[in-house]
Amino acid sequence: MKTIDELLADGVDGKRVFVRADLNVPLDGGTITDDGRIRAVLPTVKALADAGAKVVVASHLGRPKGASDPAFSLAPAAARLGELLGRDVAFAADTVGESAQATVAGLTGGQVAVLENLRFNPGETAKDDAERAAFAEQLAALADAYVGDGFGAVHRKHASVFDLPKRLPHYAGYLIATEVGVLKQLTEDVKRPYVVALGGAKVSDKLAVIDQLLGKADRLLIGGGMAYTFLKAKGYEVGISLLQEDQVPVVQEYMERAEKNGVELVLPVDVLVATEFPDLKTKAPATYTTVDADAIPADQEGLDIGPKTRELYASKLADAATVFWNGPMGVFEHPDYAGGTRAVAQALVDADGFTVVGGGDSAAAVRTLGFDENAFGHISTGGGASLEYLEGKTLPGLAALED
């Protein structure tokens, strides 16, 4: 895989360089609530602009279903990119149309432009190879070289991720090079003890990675909504907690394999329960109780791991040489149910080993809860991409950069 340093060594002064970034930031109306992904691509964009390239940045945002939708415009992201770069950033009102062509044509060396949301064009996400290829050809006409730096999208077989790099000299940006390097530390010659903490809503989203980790990790800590399927598999009452009943047999088999393989599978010993889900808009104080994990009332649901579990998980993380964490331990968006997620994050901060926060809600939680990002070994920008890499899958965007 060629890197951006090789491109810079060859010289980019006056060349049009297409940077596939991941500017898929959360928005509250037109306000960005977490600019982490924009900041992550800054080193690549700045290096190219400082070297005199005409930098064309492109990304998706949300799922607008192949049509223009102001709610998913990248205009706020373009404005924030300009603020962080400390220079004007032009914005094209379309992806490959008149505005994009004129905007790119108007760039001089060292200037940066952002194209409108790639997913406003149906060719970006098309299942049909020919349709994707046609869109990739239009994008290729806007550039002389391609830099892939949108790690959060490399697991998608989309035109700008998979088809476009085949049509231009292609290189990995600084972010992707860093992300791949980190993932190799989690899969090759891993320093032990290797502890993985998994949370989030659905156990089905994590089954494939658990399958792989049962042969690689020393400990698995389970939290979040997915924990209740594990507790159900142990024969516990889980009340009205989030449950995937159809996955119980699979989870039981995984629990048996963990024991056979000598992998310590750690489940919550107590949980916070309530009769209703909290109001995440007003964040009004919730009414809840703490019960043992085997004593969840039939009319209540678990919303966070309890204090005994927080202490337990912190102790299981304390001696880790390598930690990977993906998924919150509870409904962290509400302050009354953020304690479990906060405890795991703090345990990673306190650990002496190499700690990786696996993107998605985990990364959002770290920022929302006010942690210093530099206190972690690495905070990934791609939760889904990280998980698929750990599952052993071939990621289309990385495969395209390898060619």
Q: What is the DSSP string of 312-356?
A: HHHHHHHT-SEEEEES-SS-TTSGGG-HHHHHHHHHHHH-SSEEE
Active-site positions read 37, 202, 360, 384
Is residue 303 within 8 Å of residue 273, measured between CB atoms? yes
E strands of 21-64, at which residues?
A: 27-28, 31-32, 54-58
State the sign of the Cα–Cα–Cα–Cα dihedral 36, 40, 46, 49: negative
Instruction: Please count the other Cβ atoms lying within 10 Å of the Cβ belonging to residue 128.
Output: 10
Place of tokens 């300009």: 82
Q: What are the residues facing 28 on neighbouring strands?
A: 31
- Find all residues with CB under 8 Å of 80, minimum gap 6, and list them: 25, 32, 35, 38
Alpha helix positions (H), 92-243: 98-105, 129-140, 174-185, 207-213, 227-233
d(CA 96, CA 65): 17
Is residue 220 within 8 Å of 198, Cβ to Cβ? yes
C-alpha torsion 297→298→299→301, nearest 10:
70
Distance separating the N- and C-terminal Cα atoms of the chain: 7
Element (H, E) at 273: strand 270-274
DSSP strand pairing (301-305 vs 270-274) = antiparallel
Beta strands 145-148 and 16-20, pairing class: parallel
Helix (H, G, I), strand (E, B) or coil at 292: strand
